[in-house]
Structure 1
Amino acid sequence: MADLCGKTLFITGASRGIGLAIALRAAREGANIVIAAKSSVPRPGISGTIFTAADAIERAGGKALPIAVDIRDGDAIDAAVEKAVAHFGGVDICVNNASAINLGGTLAVNAKSHDLMHQINARGTYLVSRACLPHLLRSANPHVLALSPPPHMRPHWFGRFPAYALSKFGMSIYMMAMAEEFRAQGVAFNGLWPRTAIATAALGMGGEQSAGIVARRPEIMAEAACTIFKRDARACTGRFFLDDEVLWEAGHRDFDAYQDVPGMPLTLDLFVDRDAWTPPGVAIA
């Protein structure tokens, strides 16, 4: 596998959480990171801004370009991508990480919350991928990755939180569709999802549903994402990966290092069925 040195990654929501973990992992190999996120000033109770992320990325060995952008704004997305290309000379990898979450049922999710999830999750993925595509088509090994679940249409997931589920599956459907549309041009479109809960700020937004959850750290998603980016884009497209499955295929065997609370059985993430293949030695509650 080639390394990521000199590659330019455009990552939405990279000021914290999984997006920042992916950025830092790629930075350790000398990648250029475009931090496309709304967080330009500190907010109470929320850690990290595009500028603190940029500092961390450069300390890790990468080059950073922080850009304040709301991915609900199509013009702002286009301008951010053009700024990235002017600064780094192109885009090699697009990561659709930014996401909004509300795990309420139909009566609990109002129009504003519904629209926020669909504008950021599905629509944002479409617009960011679209804006990056002209530059990806000029890259030697272009990848687009969405942090979205395998598109298995299980009624029990949709029945629990219809608005959120549809917005996340919308991201997956765009990856499936674009993988087919751009297969001949050699641009990879894939989905990546955690097998277990991940210890990020979003975990706390589940309210009572988050109680008792045993999670892994975001670094497992970062390692899996960077493993995908090193694959041949023409041979690896239209796939929907679980994080530890990617790493198992790449020869990783020690998953305990990623566990937030050592020694405890892990909690399956949303949209992951209990009968899915699990690496040997991984305990699921």
Structure 2
Amino acid sequence: MASKLTGTVALVTGASSGIGAATARELAEHGASVALVARRKDRLEELAAEIEKAGGTALVVEADIADRNQAEGAVEQVVERFGRLDTLVNNAGLMLLGPVVGADAEEWDRMIAVNLQGLLYTTRAALPHLLRAAEQGPRQVADIVNISSQAGRMASKGYGVYNLTKFGVNGFTESLRQELAQRHVRVGVLEPGAVETELVGHNTPEVRNELVDPVIGRIEVLTAEDIADGVAYMVTRPRRTAIGELWIMPTDQG
């Protein structure tokens, strides 16, 4: 029996670790050919070898999606290799926390470039191909899943600009969902709570001690595989069913 995504192609950004890598593995297990997009080529090659050893198909695409030309080029490479694109998972993200007063504006620029501009560039480049896939077999539907955060639902002290980017992802997702609904490109947002990934490691020990550890130090956090399972759930629904928003939290996170 064919898997639910057999004959389709998925592009996952930020695929070199964490949620992105886990999502790529999960979609490959469901039968999709998977394009792995990130900056760390060595990690992508390791993941591609793992997927292919398990019987899947993977393409390594080294790119910094915060650069519009590279984001567009990544999509072009995928379509050139596979001839189509059915699923886009905008996962690449950066979380740099701390007070607004006295903040490093370059950190703001980096977050906005990856979390917002990178998502926009990749989505814009992918849309013509997703719309075409939605008109064709095997499923006659295409998907965009934007990985946001609990921080896109509620603001917290010290998370200000990260909150800004994730609230923006949520708003953009819903607007685009409405725009594309009648054309069978499903657009949804997935908002994880605390997840064990490299994301918090971008911060100084002082910031982690004040803003992160008090939360994750007292709960059983999610794994990247938990979020990948959520992505797979969203994109394997029947054509008539769209998941516009999926909020996944650790059971004991308040």
Structure (1 or 2) with the greater helix fraction: 2
* CA positional deviation for 1:158: 5.0
Letter in 1 for 2:194: A
Q: Which runs of 4+ in 1 moved over 3 A?
A: 149-154, 203-206, 232-235, 282-285
SS of aligned partner of 1:138: helix
* CA positional deviation for 1:151: 8.5
Matched, 1:241 2:246: yes
* Residue pairs, 1:101-250, within 5 angstroms: 101-139=95-133, 140-149=140-149, 154=154, 157=155, 159-194=157-192, 196-205=193-202, 207-208=208-209, 209-211=211-213, 212-213=217-218, 214-233=220-239, 235-236=241-242, 239-243=244-248
- Number of equivalent positions: 238
Call closer, same or farther: CA 1:20–1:152 in 2, change over 3 Å: closer
Q: 2:90 aligns to what?
A: 96
* CA positional deviation for 1:159: 4.1
Given that residues 152 and 166 in structure 2 are in contact (C-alpha distance below 8 angstroms), is that contact kept between their aligned partners in structure 1? no
Letter in 1 for 2:56: G
Structure 2 gaps, min length 5: 134-139
Work out the CA distance in 1 between the residues paired with 2:222 and 2:152.
Answer: 23
* CA positional deviation for 1:108: 4.8
Matched, 1:57 2:55: no
* CA positional deviation for 1:182: 1.2
With normalisation by structure 2, the TM-score equals: 0.86
Letter in 2 for 1:186: H
* CA positional deviation for 1:160: 3.1
SS of aligned partner of 1:160: coil
Structure 1 gaps, min length 5: 42-48, 245-265, 267-281
Given that residues 151 and 163 in structure 2 are in contact (C-alpha distance below 8 angstroms), is that contact kept between their aligned partners in structure 1? no
Q: 2:34 aligns to what?
A: 33
Indicate the larger mover: 15-24 or 55-64. Answer: 55-64
Letter in 1 for 2:195: I
SS of aligned partner of 1:10: strand
Matched, 1:83 2:73: no
Work out the CA distance in 1 between the residues paired with 2:22 and 2:240.
Answer: 26
Q: 1:257 aligns to what?
A: none
Once the two structures are superposed, what CA deviation does each residue of 1:188-230 show, in whole Å capped at 9, x if it has no partner? 1100022x41111113445213331531211111111101101
Work out the CA distance in 2 between the residues paired with 1:57 and 1:170.
Answer: 33
Once the two structures are superposed, what CA deviation does each residue of 1:28-73 show, in whole Å capped at 9, x if it has no partner? 12211101101124xxxxxxx1111211221233211101111111
Work out the CA distance in 1 between the residues paired with 2:176 and 2:28.
Answer: 27
SS of aligned partner of 2:171: helix
Work out the CA distance in 2 between the residues paired with 1:82 and 1:111.
Answer: 32
Given that residues 27 and 60 in structure 1 are in contact (C-alpha distance below 8 angstroms), is that contact kept between their aligned partners in structure 2? no
SS of aligned partner of 2:11: strand
Given that residues 87 and 144 in structure 2 are in contact (C-alpha distance below 8 angstroms), is that contact kept between their aligned partners in structure 1? yes
With normalisation by structure 1, the TM-score equals: 0.77
Once the two structures are superposed, what CA deviation does each residue of 1:203-258 show, in whole Å capped at 9, x if it has no partner? 34452133315312111111111011012455315x221237xxxxxxxxxxxxxx
Q: 2:66 aligns with which of 72, 77, 91?
A: 72
SS of aligned partner of 1:106: coil
Q: 1:9 aligns to what?
A: 10
Given that residues 90 and 147 in structure 2 are in contact (C-alpha distance below 8 angstroms), is that contact kept between their aligned partners in structure 1? yes
Indicate the larger mover: 86-95 or 141-150. Answer: 141-150
Larger relative contact order (CA 8 Å, sep ≥ 6) = 2
Alignment root-mean-square deviation, CA:
2.2
Given that residues 2 and 230 in structure 1 are in contact (C-alpha distance below 8 angstroms), is that contact kept between their aligned partners in structure 2? no
Given that residues 86 and 130 in structure 2 are in contact (C-alpha distance below 8 angstroms), is that contact kept between their aligned partners in structure 1? yes
